Structure formats: structure tokens, C-alpha cells
Amino acid sequence: MKQLGYLEETVLLLIMTMTDDAYGFSVSEEYKNHTGKSISISAIHTVLSRLEKKGLITSAMGGASEERGGRRKRIFSSTPVGKEVIRTIKDSRQVLWSQIPDLS
Amino acid sequence: MNNSNHNPPRLATQFLRWFCAEDLIEEIQGDLEEAYRFRAKSIGTTRARIWYFSDVLKFFRPYSFEKYSRTKQYIPMVKNYFKIAVRNLIKRRGFTALNLLGLSIGMSTVLMLAIYLQHETSYDQMQPDSENIYRLVNNYRDQTYTCMFFNDYYGSDHETQMRLLQHVTNYEEVSVGCHFVPSHSSIGPNEDTYVSIGEKKFVMKDFLYTNTGQEFNEMFPQEFLQGSTSSAFSAFDRVVLTASAVEKFYGTDWDKLSLIGNTISLGDKLYQIGGVVRDVPGNVHFDFNMIVYQKSIPSWGAYTYLKINKEANIGNVISALNGEVDLVYPGYTEDVLSKGIESVPLHDIHFTGGMLYELKPIANNAYIITFGFAGIVILLIIWTNYTNLSIAIYASRQRELGVRKLLGARMKDVQLQILTEAVILTLVCFPIVWLLVYHGLPTFNDLMEVEMMREQLFQSRILMFLGFILVLTGLISGLYPAIFFSRKSLNNLFRGKLNSLGVSRFWNFRNTLLTAQFFMLVGLMSITLIIKNQMSYVQNKELGFDKEGVLFFPISGKENFHRLAAELRKLPEVLNIGNGMVPGAEMYNQLTYKMDGTEEVLSDGTHIYTSLGSMEVLGIKSDAFGILEEQDSVLLINQTAAAKLAKVKGIPVNELAGETLILEPEWENEQFGNGQHYTIAGIVEDFDYFSLKYPSQSLLIEVRSNPEWIYNVILKLESNDWLNTISFIESAYREIEPDRPFNFTFLDDHLEQLYKKEQNAGFLATFLTGVCIILAVMGLIGIVGFVTLSRQREMGIRKVFGASVYDILLTLNRSYIAMIALATALAVPVSLYFGSQWLNNFAYRIEPNYYHVFLAGVLTLFLVAVVVVIQSIRTAQINPSDSLRHE
């Protein structure tokens, strides 16, 4: 079972929601939109590479665009392992959720 | 939109590109730029720029650096580089051979020079505690003597000879003291000796006489191959032989014999062999074949050395000695001419000039600098050459590099490949260079009169130096192409025309290098020309005496001289016989002199004691010789002395004859009161008694019809059969001098010997110029071949428009003319400076002139033109339809 930190978990979730358009800058923007906290692009890159090393996501070079000065982006998508891990986390949380007595 | 704000700050981007791993740069830069544009729209460019900077800085961490990079597919393809490099070297066999040849010749020269410089600067460093060893020197009149004298001069007994050492070694700072005299030094007996062992007889020279054997061995330890210090120095009248001397006496199998205790005779005196030691290395300031350990030294003084304790100060020892000097030399302090004892550190002996009677020629700093400089020049030529050649090679291999890049090679990979190839080529040279130097060393030794050992070449220091310099050469020659070609875009590499290297621009990198090379070539060549001209000036200068057919040799005493002279007069070939003065002397002790009736004392007089016969042999004429029929001796002065004396006395030069001259006026005696009084009998034309390195000296020549003190014979011969004449003289000599080898010298050989060191410098300079020319020609062949190839089509077009073969050749040569002209102009001040530095060795010298440099420039131009024409004649003759159909 892979251990995931909070940031890693969030980023992994974000990638799953952002089908086909998850790359460094877009993930950092989504993170900001979602959590309201800003994060540097370099921090996102580090997390992405860590996730990739753990085999939870995979990447491929995607299309170039004008605003990137003609440079290609690295598009990330989750692997089956990644999905499995997220599901396990959700399940184990669910068990805990359900045992909270006074959560209306 | 403002363009500079449209793009993110360049400085930050450059920084990012510098530190960021190559395979990460695209996505990171893309993300950052996208973020920048996004922010520029929302929060304005200024703040977006600040954000961009901070983003870049945040990426400055291990994640972005190479070894942490995501894709680790990078495997250095070193094996492949080797394979490709070797294939390429084999494919261009001719080119590779040319390269290797040039590189090997050049590198061997550099290595040889390095060893030579190391040899020259390592004099006497190998003695243990050598920094604590000092030589005592004596100041007398205006000169410094490298040796100390004995109180009774030649007549000193053992106790008198030891007096100085015994006194000095009593000081507690001094641990050891020793003295010796080499037989062939200026103060030694200076003659060859018969050495007999049993029935066999050998002519030997270079003995080292000492009566402080133990101490000598303690200060300058010898490595004993047979015997030991105790067998060698436990009693007087022992000799210690060097290995090469023993080999001469007993053959190569001497080490199977036990030689200790064997009897050996030098002249008529018997000695016991006390030991066999290794030969003296060349970088020791003295040399010997044999140490002769006997009770007294056959000289008026000796070279004296002290070793002091580690913490002691030599200054204290010297001042203590000078304070008590009268205990050793009674009357020293009262003698106004004795100016005190000094010391010279052992390490400085080889570099201290201007003293009398030094044992070996001292190192000339000008030479050390010049040869070091020449070594660097050759190295620079090699570097420029190989940079140029590798540019040419890779220019024709651009497609290969393109394919590599296409298949994923990064800038670094291409650079690594080019550098690997360059280093492989230079390392192939390693054994070749080593072997060349190994086999060239004896020749170099003969030429330069040094004794460098082949063993030196096995020292790890030398091997590492060679390896280092070769790898460095590889790296430097590959550096420019590595940077230049790795940065070219794929597109340019594939389109890669040969002339995309900026051949059209005249002052491109390559031509600058070529000009630098021509500059060095012209510089070295003109210095060589200056040296050659000076040497031929020295050889052809009118010396003021007759040197043809003049022969001289030593003889012992008046009686033997007259017996031999009587024999020789029977020979019709002998025109004149004399004794005494032989020109071409090294400087010796000078004395003071003054005119009677004046106060001013001159101190630079050289006194010559000679016979009328020697003046006749040398063809020096004077009216005053007529006086010799009535009296025993006359005093002549030369014009240099006459000019000085006339000035002091205040009379014209031609009135000096008949005046009284006083030699050594400070010497008080009963006969004259002060000094020795002479009447000036006449004035002779200046002649070059000393080497032309020194300016004309004041000569005070005492000519005697029948000298009392005779030590040599000097003959004027005229013969059609020299061999016969000399063997007749030799047999006459053997009759009269059975114990002395007949060792004669021709005067012109003797004079030539004076300039041996300068002559050697001339040889070396010529050799170095030769090496430079070979290197330059080899470099040119490569470059010109490449340039003409790249300009083939241009030449085709020129021909279509009516250019002749001659026009084409001129076009190809034109740029070299400009480069050589510039190089010559640059070389003028440099060559003249170094040339005149060298010429400063001579008092009589030519003036270095522009003419020498221009001549060198013209020679270079001629050389280059020949190479260019040979290399490009085919291109010039090619049918334009062939060259234009090229693609």
C-alpha cells in the first residue's frame, strides 16, 4: 500500500477530475481554485514527479500552444493503480465517516 | 504591444536554461511562460515579471538538476564513441598519419624542452639538506673568487691547507666543512695524466683532488658500488673511481672483480683503489672520473664548502669568520685589496654569474626563458593546428552529427563525442612521443653538452606531465568544434555546407589562429636568423692576430721547452716557436696599475706574461721588439689601456712610450718603494685576447725574449701533410715528456670552443624553428585542402567567367599574404626584443634589424605559397563543368 501525503492526494484527485488537460500550470491553477491556497509551479512539478515515480500517474508530451511560446506540455493521467489507491483511501475514510455518532 | 514585456524576463530564462536538466526544460519553461502570460493579463506585467523571477528561483533545486531528472534513459555511449573515433581515424588514414606525425614531433620537442629546463633548474638539489650547504667565496680587488686560497699558495703544506676548514668547523653552527679541486678547473693542474694499471696505460682527465674525503662524502654523498667510505677515505693516497672510469680500465665485466686494494698509478705516483661509485649526475656543479684522496691538494687554493645546522644562520657564521679572519690568514684585514669572505648557497651556484673560476658554465637565464618560451610557442602552434584541423574534419562530418542529434543526442553528448575523439588521437601519441624522446636524448645531450639520464623518463613525474599535456592538448583542440557544432541546429547540420563556417568572413576564428601561428613562426625564424648572423660575425671578425695553423700544448718547465724547441727547429713546417700567451682565455684575476706621477689607480688591468716567440706566432707586431736585443723584457700596452692612461696622465696617446707605469702600486717593497715599475715600450693594436663576449680589456703585456716561467708551447705551422707533421711533433714530445700525454689544441678550435654555449643555443633555435615549420606546414596542408574544397564551386564560377589557373591560385593565396604581412608586423617588436636580449651576451655584436624579421616573413610567405599551390593546383585545374555539377 502506497503512502500518500495530503498534497499528493489532492493533486492526484485533481488530475483525475481534469481529464486530458492536467499539466503543471493547469494543476497549480486548479489547486488554487479548489483549495483557495496558492502553490508554486515548482512545488506542483515535484509532487507530479513523485506521484509518477510511485506509479500512480503516467505522463506523455502533449500539444504545443501559443501562450507557452510554442513549447509542449507534459500531460498527466492517472494509472489503474492510482485509481485503486484513491478508492482505498475513500473506502477507509468512509468507514470512519460512518462511525462518527453526532455528525448530522 | 511592447515586445520586451510580451516575453518573460530573459535573464531569468537564461538562468533557468543554465541550471535546468535538458529533458525537463521544455515543460518547465512552457509552464512558467504560460503562467507569466496568464498573470500579465490579470495582474499586470510588472508583477508578473516578479512572479516569474520567483518561480524560476523556486525551481533552483535538486529536482531540476540532471541526476534527479525524470527520464533516466541517458547512458553515455562512450563505447560507441571509441568505435566511431577509431573508424574515423582509420578511414582518413593519410590525414591521421599527418596528424600523428605532427603531434608526435611537436610533443616530443615540448617534452624534451621540459626535461631540459627541469635539468637546468634542478642543479645540486639532490644533495641531502642541500639548502644548508654554502660555498665560501673571496672578494679580492674588484673580483670575486669562487675558491678560497691557502696561506702559502702553491707551497702550502697539509696543515696550512686545512687551516681555514679547521677554524670554521669549530663554530658550533657549522656541522661539516670540505674542500676540493677538480683537476680541469681554472685553479687545478689542468693537464691530462697517464693512469697505469699493471701493464695497461690510459690517458685520463677530470680528477677531483681532496684531503677531506670523509667530509666531502658526508656533504655530497656518493653511492658506493664497491667499497665504502671507510675503505675509500681511511688513509691517504686512495682513489675512488666512477663506474665509467672502471669500465674503461677493466672492461664491462668489472663488477665480477674485487677491485678494492688494487694498485693504480697516476703519473709516477702510486695509489690504492678505495671504492667504486656511480657516475656523477649531470646536474651537479662539479664532475669527476676519479676522486684522488691525498694529503695535500696540488693547487694554490680550493673550492670550499660548509654545511650549517638547520636553525643556524649563515650570516652569523660569515661575520664571525670575517671578524677573526686574521687567525686563518695573517694580515688579511690590513691588506686593502682583500675585501672579505662571503658565501653562496649551493642552490645558487649554477645561477650566479660574474665570479672567477666557476667550475661549470653557469645557467643563462636568458636561455632558460627563451627555451621555455619556445616550448610554449610550439605548444600553442600544436593547439591552433589541431583546433583548425578538427574544425575542418567535423565540418565534413556535420551530417553524422545531425543524425546523432536526430536520434536523441543532446548538446552534451555531441560535445563528449568530439572531445573523446580528440583525446583518443592525442593519447595514441603517448608511446610514440616517449620513444622519440628516449632515443633522441643522447643526441640532444651531445648537442647541448648536458648529461641528462634516460632513467629520468621513467619517473612518474615525467610520465604524468606527458599524459597531462596530451590530454590537455586533446581537450583544447576539441573545445572549439565541440562547442561550435553541438550548438548548431539540426537543420543547419543537415544543410551543412562546408562554407557555413563563416569562410566568407575574413577574420574568422580559423584565420585568426593561422595568423597567430604565422606570427610565432616568423618570430622564431627571425630570432634564429639573428643568432646565425651573430655567430658568423663572431667567427669571421678580425681578431687582430693570426689564428691559422697555430697549435699549442702544455710542457713542464724551461729546460724541456728548450730541448723540444731545438728538435722542432729542424722541421721546415714549423715557422715560429713560442710560449706564453694563448688568445681566447677566460677572464682571470685583474690587477691595479697607475701612471707614475698621477694619483688615480686603475683596477682593471690584465697582465700577460709571454715570450717574443708567441708574439711572432700570432703575428702581433711592434717596433719595441727591437729593444729585446739589448734587454730581457719590454712592457707593451694595448690601445684600450693606452687610451685610459693617456687620459689620466693628460698627454696624447703617442707620447706614452717611455713613460713609467706602476703595477700593483699598493704593494710596498724595497726595490721600488711601491708597486713594480715598468717603462712603457710601445703600444700594440687592440686584439681580442678574451672571448668576444667581453669588451676589450686593458692589456699589460710583458714580453720576454727568454722567459723564466714556461708552461706551454705555441707553434705556427705550415704544412701539406698535417698528420705527419703532428706525429713528428708528438714523437719529439714523447722523448722529452714521457710522463705526459701529448694533448694539443689548434687555436681556431680553441676559439670556437669559447662560444660553445652560444653555438648550442643556435643549434637548438634552428631545431625548434624546424619543428615549428614542420608543424605549420602540416597544419596548412590540412587547412588549405579543406578551404579549397569548400571553395571549389566558387572557383568553378570564376573560371566560367574567364579566370585563368594563375588567377585562381592568386585568389587562393591572397588571404595568406595578408595574414603573413600582419604576422610579420606583429613579430617585429617581439623578435627584436628577444634578439637583442640574446645579443647582450656579447660585447661585440651585430645590431638586430627589421631586415631579419622581414626576411623571415618572406621565407614564411614562400613556404606557405608552395604548400598552397601544391595543395590547390588540382582545384585550379579542374574543369568548371565538373565542380559546378557537384550537386
pLDDT at B665 over 90: no
In the predicted model, what is the mean pLDDT of residues B532-558? 89
- Give dist(CA B883, CA B887) in Å, integer: 9
Q: Residue A41: which of B32, B61, B70 has the nearest Cβ?
A: B32
The strand ranges marked E within B207-309 are: 207-210, 224-227, 238-242, 263-266, 269-277, 290-293, 301-308
Instruction: Give the whole-angstrom CA distance, residue B806 versus residue B798.
Output: 12
Cα–Cα separations (whole angstroms), residue B372 to B351, B378, B439, B451: 16, 10, 22, 19
Q: Measured between beta carbons, which residues in chain A are less than 8 angstroms from residue B29?
A: 69, 71
CA separation, residue B758 to residues B657, B693, B846 (Å)? 39, 10, 14
Per-residue pLDDT tens for B672-723?
888 888 899 989 989 999 888 888 889 999 999 888 889 899 999 998 888 9
- Of B745, B769, B798, which one is at a domain's C-terminal end? B745
Residues B737 and B851 in one domain: no
Which of B38, B63, B70 lies nearest to residue A52, judging by beta carbons?
A: B70
All residues at 6 or more sequence positions from B218 whose CB lies less than 8 Å from its CB, including other chains: B176, B178, B307
Confidence at B1, pLDDT banded by 50, 70, 90 = very low
Cell of residue B820, nine digits: 603573413
Does the structure show a pLDDT above 90 at B468? yes
Segments in B500-624 forming alpha helices (H): 509-540, 557-568, 612-618
Q: Is B163 helix (H, G, I), strand (E, B) or coil?
A: helix
In a domain, residue B124? The reply is no
pLDDT over 60 at B170, yes or no: yes
Domain span at residue B834 reads 365-538+756-884
Looking at the fold, whether B693 and B595 belong to one and the same domain comes out as: yes
* Residue B813 in this model has a pLDDT that exceeds 90: no
Cα–Cα–Cα angle for B646, B650, B655, rounded to 5 degrees: 55
Least confident of B118-127, B463-472, B877-886: B877-886
B588 is a domain residue: yes
pLDDT band at B2 (very low <50, low <70, confident <90, very high): very low
Mean pLDDT across chain A, nearest whole number?
Answer: 87
* Distance from C-alpha of B388 to C-alpha of B294, rounded to nearest angstrom: 66
- B779 touches B384 (CB < 8 A): yes
Asked whether residue B73 is domain-assigned, the answer is no
Domain identity same for B740 and B772: no
Judge: A68–B63 Cβ closer than 8 Å, yes or no. Answer: no
Mean pLDDT score, B75-88: 80
Inter-chain touch A52–B61, beta carbons under 8 Å: no
Report pLDDT for B216: 94
Per the listing, cell 624522446 goes with B437
Angstrom distance (rounded) from CA A68 to CA B29: 8
Q: What is the pLDDT of residue A2?
A: 62
**How far is Cα B229 from Cα B218, in angstroms, rounded to an integer?**
9
Nearest chain B CA: its distance from A57 CA (Å): 13
Return the DSSP state at B543: -
Model pLDDT, residue B60: 86
- Quote the pLDDT of residue B5: 56
Is B875's pLDDT higher than 90?
A: no
Averaged pLDDT, B210-222:
94
Residues of B with Cβ-Cβ distance to A68 under 8 angstroms: 30-31, 33-34
Task: Quote the pLDDT of residue B69.
Answer: 54
- Which residues on chain A are in Cβ contact (under 8 Å) with B3? none
Q: Do A72 and B29 touch (CB under 8 A)?
A: no
Residue B763 inside a domain? The answer is yes
Do β-strands B745-746 and B133-140 pair in parallel, antiparallel, or remain unpaired?
unpaired
Is the pLDDT confidence value at B616 over 60?
A: yes
Q: Do B786 and B702 sit in the same domain of this protein? A: no
* Res. B83 pLDDT band, cuts 50 70 90: confident
Which of B7, B26, B63 comes nearest A45 by C-beta? B63
Q: Which three cell numbers stand for residue B523?
A: 618570430
Question: Is residue B243 within 8 Å of B277, Cβ to Cβ?
Answer: yes
The pLDDT, as a whole number, for residue B307 is 94
Contact A45 B37 (CB under 8 A): no
Asked if B179 and B190 touch (Cβ cutoff 8 Å), the reply is no
Same-domain pairing of B579 and B691: yes
Residue B411 confidence class, pLDDT cut points 50, 70, 90: confident
- Residue B79 resides in a domain: no
Q: Is the pLDDT of residue B388 over 50?
A: yes
Binary contact (A24, B31; C-beta < 8 A): yes
Q: How many CB pairs below 8 A link A and B?
A: 67
Among all residues of chain B, which has the CA nearest to that of A61? Answer: B27
CB contact under 8 A, B34 and A68: yes
Q: Are residues B585 and B516 in the same domain?
A: no
Chain A CB within 8 Å of residue B30 CB: yes
Asked if B59 has any chain A CB less than 8 Å from its own CB, the reply is yes
User: Quick one: cell of B320?
Assistant: 664571525
Say if residue A1's pLDDT is above 70: no
A40 chain-B contacts, CB cut-off 8 A? 54-55, 58
Pairing between β-strand B133-140 and β-strand B301-308 as defined by DSSP bridges: antiparallel
* Residues B650, B595 share a domain: yes
Residues 6+ apart with CB under 8 A from B792: B875, B878, B883, B886
- Vertex B221: Cα angle to B215 and B222 (nearest 5): 115
Residues of chain A with C-beta less than 8 angstroms from the C-beta of B35:
25, 28, 41
Residue B677 identity: H
| Residue at which a domain ends, from B351, B378, B402 | B351
User: Is the same domain home to B799 and B735?
Assistant: no
Would you say residue B609 lies in a domain? yes
Q: Do A73 and B27 touch (CB under 8 A)?
A: yes
Q: Please state which of the ranges B60-64, B203-207, B504-508, B629-633 shows the lowest mean pLDDT.
A: B504-508
* Closest in B28, B33, B34 to A45, CB measured: B28
Q: Which pLDDT value is given to residue B496? A: 61
As a whole number of Å, the end-to-end CA separation of chain A is 32
List chain A residues with CB under 8 Å of B27. Answer: 23-24, 45, 61, 71-74
CB neighbours (10 Å) of residue A12? 23
Residue B337 clears pLDDT 60, i.e. is over it: yes
User: Which chain A residue shows the shortest CA-CA distance from B34?
Assistant: A68
The 3-state DSSP class for residue B110 equals helix
| Average pLDDT score over chain B | 87
Domains of chain A: 6-99 (1.10.10.10)
Q: Is the pLDDT of residue B135 over 70?
A: yes
Interface test with chain B among A28, A45, A48, by most B beta carbons within 10 Å: A45
In a shared domain, residues B422 and B500 = yes
Distance from CA of A52 to the nearest CA of B (A): 9
* B264 in the same domain as B406: no
Q: Which of A27, A58, A68 to mutate against chain B (most B CBs within 10 Å)?
A: A68
Please calculate the CA angle B248-B249-B255 and round it to the nearest 5 degrees. Answer: 90
Do the beta carbons of residue B884 and residue B840 sit within 8 Å? no
Check whether residue B196 and residue B228 sit in a common domain. Answer: yes
Q: Pairing between strand B290-293 and B207-210?
A: parallel
Q: Tell me which chain B residues have a C-beta less than 8 angstroms from the C-beta of A71.
A: 26-27, 29-30, 33
Instruction: Please tell me the total count of domains within chain B.
Output: 4
ipTM, 2 decimals? Answer: 0.88
Interface of A with B (CB under 8 A): 23-25, 28-29, 40-43, 45-46, 49, 52, 61, 64-65, 67-69, 71-74
Over residues B252-275, the mean pLDDT reads 90
Burial class (CB in 10 A: 0-12, 13-18, 19+), A14: buried
Please report whether residue B99 resides in a domain: no
pLDDT tens figures, B782-809: 778 777 777 777 888 888 888 888 888 8
pLDDT at B106: 92
Residue B341 lies in a domain: yes
Sheet holding B574-578, edge to edge: B574-578, B712-717, B550-554, B745-746
**In chain B, what percentage of residues exceed pLDDT 90?**
33
Q: Is the pLDDT assigned to residue B410 strictly greater than 80?
A: no
The CA-based dihedral angle spanning residues B871, B873, B877, B882, taken in that order and rounded to the nearest 10 degrees: 10
HSE value, Cβ hemisphere, 13 Å, CA-based, for B299: 26
Mean pLDDT in residue range B382-388: 84
Q: Which residue of B has its CA nearest to A64?
A: B30
pLDDT at B494 over 80: no
CA dist B552 and B714 (Å) reads: 4
Give the closest-approach CA distance of B37 to chain A in angstroms: 7
In a shared domain, residues B168 and B212:
yes
pLDDT in tens, A83-99: 999 999 899 889 998 88
Distance from CA of A1 to the nearest CA of B (A): 23
Q: Is the pLDDT of residue B772 over 50?
A: yes
Contacts of B62 in chain A (CB under 8 A): none
Distance from CA of B69 to the nearest CA of A (A): 9
